[in-house]
A and B are shown apart, each in its own frame.
Chain A
Amino acid sequence: DQQVKQNSPSLSVQEGRISILNCDYTNSMFDYFLWYKKYPAEGPTFLISISSIKDKNEDGRFTVFLNKSAKHLSLHIVPSQPGDSAVYFCAATSSGANNLFFGTGTRLTVIP
């Protein structure tokens, strides 16, 4: 059973606008969350992370929000750029765990 879910397989956004990618999880033990970006023919690359002691983490144009009570996190990209077009995966793990659980991915297309 998928413990990390990304319910939107795809998202299209105009250049300059905000992109919001969503991720839900079911395991309440998860306490560290990551976002990875993947371009075609390349491996995923780390983008941003957040630990459960925070509800927001910001890095330049990228901000991740965590809502522990709703078991939900989101990635905001502002402003969106054409180079942000990629597949985005969220991932989660917990203290003491050796596994990393990934979502199914959301394909973001930023339209120039």
Chain B
Amino acid sequence: EAQVTQNPRYLITVTGKKLTVTCSQNMNHEYMSWYRQDPGLGLRQIYYSMNVEVTDKGDVPEGYKVSRKEKRNFPLILESPSPNQTSLYFCASSLAGPSSYNEQFFGPGTRLTVL
């Protein structure tokens, strides 16, 4: 089954404790992206990747890191989480970037709480 998977689905952590949220897709997609969803703000893009070893900042990259060492995986790293990073996070992938008019496929989301 074609899908985007994220782990963990739920995470409660404390300020400053490094964490990684994994994202994997099995559709051989080139483009992958991370979003956060917050009440009243909708979905905002954090980082995206056009292909292996090619990543770039989205609208709200501060406090986050990403890497794309393999085509299928795009982990989101919070080196020193803070309470304002409490949010619902979505990973997405598509065959090519948005300008190629591709729909994005989203993972199920990771709800992160930083105390």
- Interface residue ranges, A against B (CB under 8 Å): 2, 4, 6, 9, 32, 34, 36, 41-46, 49, 51, 89, 91, 93-105
Contacts and interface: CB of A to CB of B under 8 A. Distances in A.
Given A4-B42, A91-B43, 19 more contacts: A34-B103, A36-B106, A42-B108, A43-B4, A43-B90, A43-B106, A43-B107, A46-B104, A49-B101, A97-B97, A98-B50, A98-B99, A99-B98, A100-B33, A100-B98, A102-B45, A103-B42, A104-B40, A105-B43
Contacts of A96: 99
Contacts of A32: 98-99, 101
Interface of B: 4, 31, 33, 35, 40-45, 48, 50, 56, 58-59, 90, 92, 97-99, 101, 103-109
A102 B44 contact: yes
Nearest to B109: A43
A46 B103 contact: yes
Chain A interface mostly: loop
A103 B35 CA distance: 13
A89 B37 CA distance: 11
A105 B106 CA distance: 16
Given A43-B4, A89-B43, A98 B106 contact: no
A100 B42 CA distance: 12
Contacts of B105: 46
Given A89-B42, A105-B42, A100 B108 contact: no
A47 B42 CA distance: 17
Nearest to B97: A98
Nearest to B90: A43
A6 B41 CA distance: 10
Contact of A99 (B41, B45, B101): B45
Contacts of B40: 9, 104
Contacts of B90: 43-44
